[in-house]
Structure 1
C-alpha cells in the first residue's frame, strides 16, 4: 500500500507535521510505503481559476511543486491530509492545495476523472488550539462532505484539540492513537 501525507502548514516541525508523520509511521509499521510532503518545502501557487485543466487532458497549467503532489496522488492508495484550523477553517496552505486538486478531482469536469475507479482512502486530520472538539464541527463536517463528493473514501476525521496548552509531540496518548489511525488505514480493505 502506498500512502502519502500532506502537511498543510507553514510550520515545518509543528503540530500538523507531528500528527501527519505519526499517522504515516503507524502505516509504515504495517508495511505501507509512505511519503510526506510539507507545504513549507514546496512552492505551490494558488489556483488561477483559468479552467485550462478541464479544457484538455494536460492537467494543471501552473508548473510548480504541486506537480509532485499530482504525481504522488496517481500512485497513492491513501492520503493523510493534515489541516491546522486557523480562524475557524483550514489554513491558507490547506486551501491552496485543496483548490489545486480541482485539476484532478472534479468529477463533473475533469478529463482525469475515471468512472467506477477505486476511491482513494483519506484521513482528514484537523488540529486546533481550542479544547472543544465540536467548536468547528460544522466546518469539519462540510470539508469531509466536500472530499466525499470528490470521490474520496474518508475513513477518519481525527480532530486534535487543546494544542495551546501542550504541543502534540509531548502527548504520549496522542502518539499512540495517531499511529493506530495509520495502522488501521493499512488494514482497511
Structure 2
C-alpha cells in the first residue's frame, strides 16, 4: 500500500507537518510505503479558471509541479491531507491545491476518480487550530469533507487537533498514539 502526505502549511516543521508525519508513521509501521509532499517546496500556481483542462486532451495549461503531485495521487492508495485552520478555513496553500483539483473534475461535475479507478482513494483530512473548541469550525470542516467526497475521495477520518496556542502538537503525548492509530487503520482495511 502506498500512502502520500500532503502538508499545506507554510511551516515545514510546524504542527501540521508533525500531525501528518505522525499519521504516516503509523501507516509505515504497518508496512505501507509513504511519501511526504510539502506544498511550500513545490511550484504550484493558482488555477486560472480558463477551463483549458477540459478542452481536448491537453490537461491543465499551467505547467508546474501539480503534474508531479497528480502523478503521486494517481499511484497512491491513500492520502493524508493536512492543513492548519487560518481565518476559519484551510490555508491559502491548501486552497490552491483544491482549486487545481478542478482539472480532475469533468465539466458536467462528475468525479474523475470514479471513471479512472474503480476503488476510491482513501483520505485522511487532518486539521489543526489554535482555538481549543473542537466544534468552532465544524461547519467548515464538514463542507471541506464533502468537497473531497465530491472529488470521489473516501474520507475515512477527519482529526481536528485543537488548542495549538497552548503549545506545539509534538509536546502532547495523547496525540502520538491517536495519530499513529489513524495511520495504522488505513493499512488495516
Verify same fold: TM over 0.5.
Answer: yes
Partner of 2:128: 127
Distance in 2, matches of 1:35 and 1:133, equals 29
Alignment correspondent of 2:163: 162
Q: How many residues of Structure 1 are paired with residues of Structure 2 in the alignment?
A: 188
Give the aligned partner of residue 185 of structure 1: 186
Quick one: distance in 1 between partners of 2:108 and 2:25? 35
Contact 1:123 1:156 in 2 (8 A): yes
Partners of 2:142 and 2:184 lie apart in 1 by 24
Gaps of 5+ in 1: none
**2:70 matched residue in structure 1:** 70
Whether the 8 Å CA contact 2:54–2:107 is kept in 1: the answer is no
Find the residue that maps to 2:139 and give its secondary structure: helix
**Structure 1 residues 98 and 184, CA, compared in 2 at 3 Å: closer, same or farther?**
same
Write the distance in 1 (CA, Å) between the matches of 2:185 and 2:110: 31
How has the CA–CA distance of structure 1 residues 105 and 180 changed in structure 2, closer, same or farther, with 3 Å as cutoff?
Answer: farther
SS at structure 2 position matched to 1:164: helix
User: What's the CA shift for 1:117?
Assistant: 2.1
Query: How far does residue 113 in structure 1 lie from its aligned partner after superposition?
Result: 4.7
Is the contact between residue 113 and residue 120 of structure 2 (CA under 8 Å) also seen in structure 1? no
Q: Which moved more, 1:118-127 or 1:48-57?
A: 48-57
CA drift of 1:111 comes to 9.4
Instruction: Provide the residue aligned with 2:80 in structure 1.
Output: 80
Aligned partner of residue 31 in structure 1, secondary structure: coil
Q: Say whether 1:60 aligns with 2:96.
A: no
Once residues 111 and 153 of structure 1 are traced to their aligned partners in structure 2, the CA distance between those partners, rounded to angstroms, is 12
Q: How many Å separate the matches in 1 of 2:94 and 2:56?
A: 26
Whole-angstrom distance in 2 between the partners of 1:111 and 1:28: 29
Task: Please tell me the root mean square deviation across aligned C-alpha atoms, in Å.
Answer: 1.6
Tell me the equivalent position of 1:46: 46
Question: Cα gap change, 1:33/1:105 in structure 2, threshold over 3 Å: closer, same or farther?
Answer: farther
Aligned-partner Cα distance in 1 for 2:74–2:170: 31
TM-score of the superposed pair, with normalisation by structure 1: 0.94
Does structure 2 conserve the Cα–Cα contact (< 8 Å) formed by 1:106 and 1:150?
no
Q: Which residue of 2 aligns with 1:16?
A: 16
Cα gap change, 1:16 to 1:107, in 2 (>3 Å): farther
TM-score normalized with structure 2 length: 0.94
Distance 2:80 2:108 in 1: 24
Structure 1 CA distance for aligned equivalents of residues 153 and 124 of structure 2:
10
- Structure 1: how far apart are the matches of 2:169 and 2:111? 40
